[in-house]
Amino acid sequence: MNYISTRGSAPVLTFEDTMLSGLARDGGLYVPQAIPALSPDQIAAMEGQSYEQIAFIVMRPFIDDTINDADFRAIIDRAYSVFGHAARAPMVQLEQGHFLLELFHGPTLAFKDFAMQIIGQLFQHVLAKKGERVTIVGATSGDTGSAAVEAFRGLDNVDVFILYPHGRISEVQRRQMTTPQESNVHALALEGDFDDCQARLKDMFNDFDFRDGVRLAGVNSINWARVLAQVVYYFSSAVALGAPGRRVSFTVPTGNFGDIFAGYIAKRMGLPIDKLVVATNQNDILHRCLSGQGYHKGETIPSISPSMDIQISSNFERALFDAYDRDGNAVAQLMDELKAGGFEVSQGAMEVLMDHYASGRASEDQTSAQIKASLAETGELLCPHSAIGVHVADRHRQPGTPMITLATAHPAKFPDAVEAATGVRPPLPPRMADLYERSERLTRVPNDLEALKKHIMDHLQT
């Protein structure tokens, strides 16, 4: 399988190189040259299979033969063995026709673990084979960083530096990044917001001397391997509800557009998905764009769903690439306009987007009200992100088509917001109950590219 850049002028890469490089050298994101399809029979045969077996069937066509079947099965098994639930991605029913897909049973209690655990194992395998080391630098609004630290801590061939916005993530998120004591992981608290973290990360990737010098690798949601790992639970959940014989819809609490884009890939592979509903918080650039108002960035306003406090939604570029008929020049031009504030989406591209996606938003008050209502009506304690999903999903349900809302984090990861809404403080699962007692290790860093580069070079293991 070959991968091409959304901006049309970076080298074509294999799966392994796509995974190791992250961002393309023309500033674009890598996407598969063609999307492999699964037949209705192949999809029907997933019924009754384990999550790991479904993961193998879905991901295998995207991965080169340089990783053989037996190794790839072992990678998948190791990745999910650390999960706290035998089904990996279990579903519960909220009401008639509405289901909640619980994606928070991994080691850091958010859906990011599904992809990051796979990536950790894949990096380990590929780097050991090549005899190489890399430096991973990631930007996080909270959950990516903790999942990355958990997936890479103590691995031999990787140094990991995570930039997070100082003071803008929850204590559980921070502690999951700052309490691991392995010397190859580094938590960096940046003076700025998440968009600043993401911008400095992009600057490092666009500084080719630095990028090549430290062998920079990215594990942000722009990394294709992460999107790929997330395609799996769209299949496992839809098949459990009767696909391919029955169409389903999904609502996805969205920030960087990685998770919902995985749903789009599932649909392109042949899964009968009716609507993919983008749910945003008050930082609603995607909802405004999908409502026909163009893509114009504003100020990021901190919310009780911090993992969705994003104005520039990186993976949306992948959706635009397909909506503009895979015209890399057109996408490159839009991204230039975005630097100056924003752009309008052409009518043709809007029609393609509306074919696949719908959208909605929840205000802070609506989010809290939903957490409270869901507890009263179903006994489910939702994290604020998942509550936004349920709120928006309720406005997009169609009779006869089951709606699956993705629960993206465990409520205990955001205990203050959940307690404020319900009076109930959700406890951490027993396997991580001592998190608040462990000692922390972090460095405050300025929002400055040169200072960051120096800090990273000074702290490499070799």
Ligand X SMILES: *Cc1c(COP(=O)(O)O)cnc(C)c1O
CB 281 within 8 A of CB 310: no
Q: Which is nearer to ligand X, 56 or 257 (CB)?
A: 257
Is residue 112 among the annotated active site residues? Answer: yes
Q: Minimum distance between the CB of residue 105 and ligand X, rounded to whole angstroms?
A: 13
Residue 307 in contact with ligand X, rule: CB under 6 A: yes
State how far the Cα of 419 lies from the Cα of 415, in Å rounded to an integer: 6
Over the window 374 to 393, marking each residue x when it contacts ligand X by CB under 6 A and - when it does not, the resulting string is -----------x--------
Q: Which is nearer to ligand X, 150 or 259 (CB)?
A: 259
Residue 256 in contact with ligand X, rule: CB under 6 A: yes
Letter for the amino acid at 21?
S
**CA dihedral (448, 209, 31, 230) positive or negative:** negative
Give the H/E segment covering residue 415: helix 415-422
Active-site option among 112, 267, 413, 453: 112
Which residue from 143, 274, 309, 322 is in contact with ligand X, where contact means CB under 6 A?
Answer: 143
CB 136 within 8 A of CB 147: no
Residue 192 in contact with ligand X, rule: CB under 6 A: no
The piece of 66-74, 86-94, 255-263, 363-371 that touches ligand X (CB under 6 A) is 255-263
Q: Minimum distance between the CB of residue 372 and ligand X, rounded to whole angstroms?
A: 19
Dihedral of the alpha carbons of 289, 295, 296, 299, in degrees to the nearest 10: 60
Q: How many of the chain's residues bind ligand X (CB under 6 A)?
A: 16
Among candidate residues 34, 24, 22, 232, the one with its CA nearest the CA of residue 115? 232
Which residue from 220, 221, 368, 422 is in contact with ligand X, where contact means CB under 6 A?
Answer: 221
Q: Which is nearer to ligand X, 254 or 368 (CB)?
A: 254
Residue 253 in contact with ligand X, rule: CB under 6 A: yes
CB 127 within 8 A of CB 158: yes
The piece of 9-17, 75-83, 256-264, 372-380 that touches ligand X (CB under 6 A) is 256-264
Q: Minimum distance between the CB of residue 264 and ligand X, rounded to whole angstroms?
A: 12
Residue 290 in contact with ligand X, rule: CB under 6 A: no
Q: Which is nearer to ligand X, 124 or 170 (CB)?
A: 170
Catalytic site positions: 112
